[in-house]
Amino acid sequence: MPAKSAAQQKAAGAALSAKRGDTPKSDLKGASKSMVESMSEKELEEMASTSRKGKPEHKGD
């Protein structure tokens, strides 16, 4: 599933880094903290690889 905002894409990238062991999980905050537990590495890769071009910084409701 592609990211709907730049913030979501960045959070997925941080969670992916922690899941791979490149970043300590204790460094995660907010959405990335829950993403690392609830999403698979493949799902995080998909979301993190989404282009930010044309995406809002934060998703509006």
Q: Helices in 1-61 by DSSP H: which ranges?
A: 6-19, 30-38, 41-48
Domain range list for the chain: 6-48
Looking up tokens 């071009």 gives 53
Number of residues that make up the chain: 61
pTM above 0.85, yes or no: no
Q: Is the pLDDT of residue 61 over 80?
A: no
Closest listed residue to residue 43, CA positions, set 11, 6, 20, 12: 12
Q: Residue 5 is which amino acid? A: S
Whether the CB-CB separation of 47 and 38 falls below 8 Å is answered with: no
Write the pLDDT tens digit of every residue in 13-51.
Answer: 999 999 999 999 999 999 999 999 999 999 999 999 988
